Structure 1
């Protein structure tokens, strides 16, 4: 359960160093990623926005959508005359809010129906069990989303690392 909540609400900080200038690093990262999901409809890619002050990337796969996939968000910085991309991997804000509202609502519904059953206000003894099953299904969906996005961090990190390395030594 702790792993599910960390996947949903936690973040994983990352940092990528580059010998390139910020403008060159932004240009190279932008050229290795796609801007729209529709540009990568037939192949797996990192998709999103790349600017020097804001980077947001997520893995896209053909015909697959996962609201609980990890996104890389961060920015380029100049630290000690070196270009550094600092960011973190986390789930987007909408799935976090949506699942939070669902779980809170189902918790309130469970407690309310349990109180009504215990006070003999309703005869349906199974009333508190139904929201618990629904809550279990919501938690299962988060777990399934976390499982299906296991590869996201490694995939995006590899693309960023490859884009920010200096190829002039090999040319």
Structure 2
């Protein structure tokens, strides 16, 4: 009987998490079902990184020099260029431009239902989910991004970090 090394155990844990994430995503993946909505298109990448047995996501802080949404914390992404074939290509191109993430470092596992952005610019925004290699080192484009954050998903799931806001319609 062989003794599994720590590195071997970590690789096995990472593969197990990767498989669970793909299975979960397969339940929610909408494919191209909403691709024909007649509005301008945009995509964001929801990058998931598996580090030390935990799921993390990568977020960016938009440059204060940008005219749209300066300083906001968001996922990498943007509007579709005429040369982009689909929402996946848009999300990967924008991620490369903003944080230096090469498409070959991402395994796209699906996409969620798109949302419609708020005016003045109205877009159909498709969230694309991808597993990013844990060796990825971001290189932010200072014209677009001031910081790149890698945050454990547990942070967003903890009640310690959430505030419930109740919106009541006016009568």
Whether the TM-score (by the shorter chain) exceeds 0.5 is no
Give the TM-score, by structure 2 length. Answer: 0.22
Give the TM-score, by structure 1 length. Answer: 0.22
